[in-house]
Structure 1
Amino acid sequence: MTLRDDEKDAAIQETGVLGATTPNNYNSSPPSILNPAQDIESGEEEKDYGSPPDGGLTAWLQVLATHLINAMTWGYAAAFGVYQLYYVETLGLPASQVSWIGSVQIFFTYAICAVSGRLADAGYTRITVAVGTFMAVFGTFMTSLAKTYWQIFLAQAVCIGIGLGVTFMPAISILSSYFEKNRAFALAVSAVGTSVGSVSFPAMIQHLTARIGFPWAVRCAGFLALAMAVVANVLLKPRLPPRKTGPLLELKAFSELPYLLFSMAAFVYFYALYFVFFYINSYARNIIGFSNSDSINLLIITNAMGIPMRPIAGYIADRWTGPINLFIAALAAVFAILYSWTAVTTRTGMYVFSVVYGLSIGANQGLFVASLTSLTKDPQKMGVRFGMVETLSALATVAGAPTAGAIIDHDHGNYFWAQIWGGSVMAAATVIFVSCRISVTGWKLWAKV
């Protein structure tokens, strides 16, 4: 065999970035390209960082860490209904002003995600989580000391909101890199933390306020959040090498039609997402006649339904449907249930609505992250691409609850048109998510995606 033949054979065995054999100059056929239904990112190649373990102790510890961070971040946000009740009834603050505290807190939580996601991609995971935790806990203790509206606003809306956003995003980025076949299930199990926190924090504050007072109840919630974040930060372990170069934002991602449509749909989706969580309490009290404590229990029941539903939805998505398909089906159920809320006039009906809506929104929210990560083939860009969608959605979340409040006020305390608004917004989001799916699969009626 000649030296030239040796060179040919060596060239044939070279491996390219996609993990496939790279042909040499003598075999001029290009590497195969997946069709649009298989590769939904025409502008982005999938790089080979080794196969995700899809299991093992380290991978499942990342699920636990993300579970704790979800419990801290979104559990905190879900507890706002308890704060709102205290601010309005005890401090005598106007309800319309108080709703802005919760909306702005959620806005900052989402708005900072693009920055914190890029920091996670660059390898600054632990320091990012540590800084975010400090801000959230510091803001909590300042909230316990606040006496005026603007003190509460700065501590709870701004400081805690930014801290939660800085803490949340890096964990999602790391966890997604450890799973592929079981990614939807792993993300859904971690998202159970949202439901656990959404039950734990409101119940803790409500229970302790009657015994030790509101300020110390808030401080106890801060200590619980601190413990969760410390354990999570110890467990987090990035799998991929850091991507220190590159822009802060990956704006070319919006040139990919599926990603663009998903971003648009997410914006509409988040516009009405927190409507029920913010107003189920007041509807139960003012329209149905619930007591304050019973109305808070409704919120806790709604959040608790996500505990069994999220992992079930993730398992079904991985095994049979794909995350986007099941996400759309759950979202269709959500808007139908929101329309049906207009017919609820009894205590029993409120409990039924709380359970059914909680199951539907639990499955829906549990699959949101998995649906979005399925549109990203390069795991090193997971943080920034997910963060950009969350940052864009922040603009919708800050307007959603005040919009619903304005509709209710305009209708003299009647919730009918606000409920129609919520259902219609979710229906519009469903249509755009369906368009996103079609851009991925074409007009195939059944395709796992």
Structure 2
Amino acid sequence: MQDEFRIELTADEKLNVLEELERRPSADSPTPCSESDPPDGGHVAWTTAFGSFLIQFCGYGYLNSFGVYQDFYTRIYLTNHSPSTISWVGALSSFLIASGTLISGRLYDRGWFYHLIIAGSALQSLSLFALSFAKPGQLYMGVLSGFAMGLTYGPSIAVISQHFSKRRTLVMSLVASGSPLGGIIHPIMLNHLFDGAADFARAVRISAGFISALLLIACLSMRTRALLTQTISYSAVVRKCSRDVPFILVTAGILLAQIGFFFPLYYLQLDSIKHGINVHFSFYSFVILNAASVIGRCTAGIIAPYTGLLNLTIVSTAACGVVIISMIALSNISSVVVIGIAYGYFSGVYIALWVPMVGMLTPDLSELGARVGIFFIFISFSALLGGPISGALLSSHYRWLIPLLFSGIIYFVGSLVLVVTRLIIYRQR
């Protein structure tokens, strides 16, 4: 009787059945999924986004407070060094963050997300505590801190693409708002703690303890999904990027704009003080700038679907150039407030769109980590150029006009490159 229902399979059919069984996950294994079907929400997705937000708060958010260090070093701690020389401290940190993304992006694609986040967080905490041992006259600000931030920055943004699809740009912009929010909290904390050279060590240790606690929460919050993706060699991604004209032009345009980006970030507080504005109010100039940047980064994800990522980036980049040149008129409290709000908002908008733009130009999201790394390794050179060039043009005589014109004009050049990119994409479509 059993023989009547026996089904004979050919060799090819048996092989197909075995392959199908091998592709099916076991009951106790994580369910694999592809980049094409992220859940676009859920508890794990939002806790991961919160952890990524904290990484931005403690990474670029802390670096956004370098203007406080620039002012403190120039007037109190490193009086025997020029503003241009001191700006190299922040420039090197910015360079290491961006260039470190080249390494972290590749390792992220290979599934090393947790290793990068944990190692980078521990290294950042250690380097900030080490900074507290610096003495007056020593040009030092934890070089390791910049590299540590580079290990965590790229992966903490790229992991959002595993959890969100339709709301990806919005969530990435919300996560990116952690950076200017950190630029609000950290300057207030540091300005109140930096009462004099004797308080430097205590201030930095308090700040380092605060950062360490938040990084621990971030490490416990973030999760990845089990993805069936093919790992592509870096050389293959580089070859593809070298033939991708829109990607090259977007990278070049943002690089040029970023050279002008750092002047208000480093010198707004010092500019206010040198123009006779109350010192205590000047301490809050970065708070105003970064508060507006939070709004800019949050609204970027809401506006972009209606205007287009590239169109919104072009407008915000050109607006930044206009605001920087208008700093020539800085003379009173009202002008500081207007400049801080305007520059903070528009710079926040265009920075929030970086990674979504790279994602838009990436046809295969398995290459996203590598492409983000390639993008940031070029952008990192703007940190080595922007602050020091502006400081050299400013000089110890504080000639504000020349660096303001330089920063504003190079912003316009960067926006023109993005306009060319927009025309090329329009023709391709």
Q: TM-score, normalised by structure 2?
A: 0.86
Instruction: Give yes or no for the alignment of 1:192 onto 2:177.
Output: yes
Instruction: Give yes or no for the alignment of 1:282 onto 2:270.
Output: yes
Q: CA deviation at 1:89?
A: 2.3
Q: 1:366 to 1:177 in 2, by over 3 A?
A: same
Deviations 1:150-177 (A, max 9, x none): 5x53x52x21111111111111111123
Asked if structure 2 preserves the Cα contact closer than 8 Å seen for 1:205 and 1:214, the reply is: no
Deviates more, 1:276-285 or 1:201-210: 201-210
Match of 2:370 among 384, 394, 400: 384
Instruction: Give yes or no for the alignment of 1:251 onto 2:235.
Output: no
Which ranges in structure 1 are unaligned for 5 or more consecutive residues? 1-6, 8-46, 445-449
Determine helix, strand or coil for the equivalent of 1:180: coil
Q: Within 5 A, what are the aligned runs for 1:72-83?
A: 72-83=58-69
Instruction: Give yes or no for the alignment of 1:133 onto 2:118.
Output: no
The aligned residue for residue 101 of structure 2 is: 113
Q: For residues 104 and 113 of structure 1, what CA distance do their matches in structure 2 show?
A: 14
Q: CA deviation at 1:442?
A: 2.1
Asked if structure 1 preserves the Cα contact closer than 8 Å seen for 2:84 and 2:390, the reply is: no
Instruction: Give yes or no for the alignment of 1:161 onto 2:149.
Output: no
Q: CA deviation at 1:241?
A: 4.1
Deviates more, 1:206-215 or 1:421-430: 206-215
Q: For residues 370 and 346 of structure 2, what CA distance do their matches in structure 1 show?
A: 28
Determine helix, strand or coil for the equivalent of 2:327: helix
**Number of aligned pairs?**
394
Deviations 1:384-429 (A, max 9, x none): 101111111111211111111111128x422112111111010000
The aligned residue for residue 293 of structure 1 is: 280
Instruction: Give yes or no for the alignment of 1:304 onto 2:295.
Output: no
Match of 2:221 among 235, 243, 261: 235
The aligned residue for residue 42 of structure 2 is: 56
Asked if structure 1 preserves the Cα contact closer than 8 Å seen for 2:257 and 2:317, the reply is: no
Asked if structure 1 preserves the Cα contact closer than 8 Å seen for 2:84 and 2:387, the reply is: no
Amino acid at match of 2:298: P
Q: 1:254 to 1:149 in 2, by over 3 A?
A: farther
Asked if structure 2 preserves the Cα contact closer than 8 Å seen for 1:74 and 1:194, the reply is: yes
Q: CA deviation at 1:432?
A: 0.8
Amino acid at match of 2:210: L
Q: Within 5 A, what are the aligned runs for 1:7-156?
A: 49-91=35-77, 92-94=79-81, 95-147=83-135, 150=138, 152-153=139-140, 155-156=141-142
Amino acid at match of 1:257: V
Instruction: Give yes or no for the alignment of 1:206 onto 2:191.
Output: yes
Q: For residues 136 and 235 of structure 2, what CA distance do their matches in structure 1 show?
A: 37
Q: CA deviation at 1:57?
A: 2.1
The aligned residue for residue 44 of structure 1 is: none
Which ranges in structure 2 are unaligned for 5 or more consecutive residues? 1-11, 13-32
The aligned residue for residue 36 of structure 1 is: none
Q: CA deviation at 1:314?
A: 0.7
Q: TM-score, normalised by structure 1?
A: 0.83
Determine helix, strand or coil for the equivalent of 1:145: coil
Q: 1:280 to 1:302 in 2, by over 3 A?
A: same
Q: For residues 248 and 237 of structure 1, what CA distance do their matches in structure 2 show?
A: 28
Match of 2:260 among 269, 272, 289: 272
Q: For residues 46 and 37 of structure 2, what CA distance do their matches in structure 1 show?
A: 16
Q: 1:431 to 1:233 in 2, by over 3 A?
A: same
Q: For residues 443 and 382 of structure 1, what CA distance do their matches in structure 2 show?
A: 22
Determine helix, strand or coil for the equivalent of 1:414: coil
Q: 1:413 to 1:128 in 2, by over 3 A?
A: same
Deviations 1:115-166 (A, max 9, x none): 011111111111111111122111111110111555x53x52x211111111
Deviates more, 1:91-100 or 1:194-203: 91-100
The aligned residue for residue 322 of structure 2 is: 336
Q: 1:112 to 1:75 in 2, by over 3 A?
A: same
Asked if structure 2 preserves the Cα contact closer than 8 Å seen for 1:87 and 1:93, the reply is: no
Asked if structure 2 preserves the Cα contact closer than 8 Å seen for 1:145 and 1:215, the reply is: yes
Asked if structure 1 preserves the Cα contact closer than 8 Å seen for 2:104 and 2:151, the reply is: yes
Asked if structure 1 preserves the Cα contact closer than 8 Å seen for 2:94 and 2:146, the reply is: yes
Instruction: Give yes or no for the alignment of 1:395 onto 2:381.
Output: yes
Asked if structure 1 preserves the Cα contact closer than 8 Å seen for 2:296 and 2:347, the reply is: no
Q: 1:279 to 1:243 in 2, by over 3 A?
A: farther
Asked if structure 2 preserves the Cα contact closer than 8 Å seen for 1:121 and 1:243, the reply is: no
Instruction: Give yes or no for the alignment of 1:324 onto 2:349.
Output: no
The aligned residue for residue 410 of structure 2 is: 425
Percent identity between matched residues is: 26
Deviations 1:365-390 (A, max 9, x none): 22222222211122221111011111
Asked if structure 1 preserves the Cα contact closer than 8 Å seen for 2:292 and 2:345, the reply is: yes
Asked if structure 1 preserves the Cα contact closer than 8 Å seen for 2:58 and 2:215, the reply is: yes
The aligned residue for residue 361 of structure 1 is: 347
Asked if structure 1 preserves the Cα contact closer than 8 Å seen for 2:262 and 2:386, the reply is: yes
Amino acid at match of 1:251: V
